[in-house]
Amino acid sequence: MIADLAETGTRLFLQQPDFKLGDEVRLELHVLLDDDTGRVVTGHIVRIEPLPDDRASLWTHEIGVEFHETMPLSAAELDSLAKREAPFGKRS
């Protein structure tokens, strides 16, 4: 699940990730809420952290991915991210 997204990288919530720092990844990110089309990016893992017990549920870990190339975000994608993250106090 996308926790945060920028043009240069992303923070994701995962269940028991099978990655290590520096691993290369290919991601299909679904940014728009009403669209099944994903944006494909490549990058490498720069952070892997377990979520604290008070934040862990379905998602047990948080990972950070730095993209190999900048992924420009459209106005519609920025709006979708703001709506998705508003309940968590982000991008409001």
Question: What's the start-to-end Cα distance of the chain, in Å?
Answer: 19
45-79 pLDDT, tens digit per residue, is 999 999 888 877 788 899 999 999 999 998 988 88
12-31 pLDDT, tens digit per residue, is 999 988 999 999 999 999 88
If one counts the domains in the chain, the total is: 1
User: Which domain covers residue 23, as residue numbers?
Assistant: 2-88
11, β-bridge pairs = 4, 64
- Report the b/e string of 67-85 with b at 16+ CB within 10 A: beeebebeeebeebbeebb
30-45 pLDDT, tens digit per residue, is 888 777 788 999 999 9
Cα 43 to Cα 70: distance, rounded to the nearest angstrom: 10
